[in-house]
Amino acid sequence: MKPVIFGVSGLELTAEERDFFKAADPLGYILFKRNCGDRAQMKSLTDSLRDLSGRADLPILIDQEGGRVARMQPPEWPAFPAGAAFDALYEKAPISAIEAARANGQALGLMLSEVGVNVDCAPLLDVRQPEVTDAIGDRALGGEPMRVAALGRAILDGLRRGGVVGVVKHMPGHGRALVDSHLELPRVKADAAALEVDIEPFARLADAPMAMTAHLVFEAWDADRPATLSPIVVRDIIRGRIGFDGLLFTDDIDMKALSGTPGEKATAALAAGCDVVLDCWARMDEMVEIVGLLPDAGAECLARLARAMATIADGPEAADAAELIATRDALLALA
């Protein structure tokens, strides 16, 4: 098994993809809007990926946060609110906000489980700072670390109840970026003392099963390399100071914050200490390069994967998604 998550090109696998994925045996897959037609089509696609791999617990990821980051969209699926909605409610009624976030996460999980998706790249634990890029913006759960952690914990718990593993992101924090890492490399000039604010939510949720890195340079820690490619940040900050020992994904290595070929970026990320490379865009030449350069997944990576997937081994708890959404909406109306 190769320690990489690949994207898929369309609503169903092409013959070329079937042959390649069967031979390459990636650790898992990630779906985007281009892969989300309707319930029957998505379930057929995820079933075909599991059949190819021979693994019932194959991780199939999606970015389904709510708000503007939603791959499964109306009218086929309900819209979900962005993180800022729960932050606003927390200002008035913290316990109600936590209950709303948990109900929201569980409804999301049930929606994803129904179509065979078992990993959601959420929640964000980025602490929003003023006057930064809108790449995070209303996606964030707030600007106060304890609040972000409390809401993030509730979302993780809700997703798990819905049969889905959550991925906390973007470790060690994306809330200070002045530019969008999809387009260029952000540099964070804050000193180590100030960055304690950024890492606090991640430290509070260090027992999360999965996490995703940030493509940001933190000058206080490593002025030469973005976190994803920095052994210093991964070893000393993520694994050390934060204490995270779960499965660590890169953010998408195709983002313009990183330079080099896909294979070079993938190998550098693993060398830095990331467990799994995320390559989203289903470009066959890039996937071939990556597979040709990556080693097989090591024992530590596989153990972390097994621990993470075991958290949903019993499947989703019995619940009605419509009732959960109604509960969430009634609570959010209090804001």
By three-state DSSP, how is residue 268 classified?
A: helix
Active-site annotation holds for 279: no
Whether 215 sits among the annotated catalytic residues: the reply is no
CB 132 within 8 A of CB 176: yes
Which two structure tokens, joined as six digits, stand for 139?
Answer: 């996606």
Helix, strand, coil in percent for the chain, rounding step 5: 45, 15, 40
Task: Say how far apart CA 97 and CA 84 lie, in whole Å.
Answer: 11
The catalytically annotated residue of 198, 251, 275, 279 is 251
Sign of CA dihedral 173, 174, 177, 180: positive
* DSSP per-residue string spanning 159-212: HHHTT-EEEEEEET--TT-SS-TTTS--EE---HHHHHHHHHHHHHTTT-SEEE
Cα angle, residue 120 at apex, residues 86 and 156 outer, rounded to 5°: 50
CA distances from 211 to 35, 96, 165, 192 (A): 23, 26, 10, 21
Closest CA to 155 of 144, 141, 142: 141
| Gyration radius from the chain CA atoms | 19
d(CA 164, CA 265): 28
Provide the strand spans (E) within the chain.
2-7, 26-31, 60-62, 64-66, 69-70, 119-120, 165-171, 187-188, 210-213, 217-218, 247-252, 276-279
Distance CA 130, CA 334 (A): 25
- Among 182, 245, 254, 329, the active-site one is 182
* Residue located via tokens 């092409």: 14
Q: Report the first-to-last Cα separation within the chain, whole angstroms.
A: 47
Residues that are catalytic = 182, 251
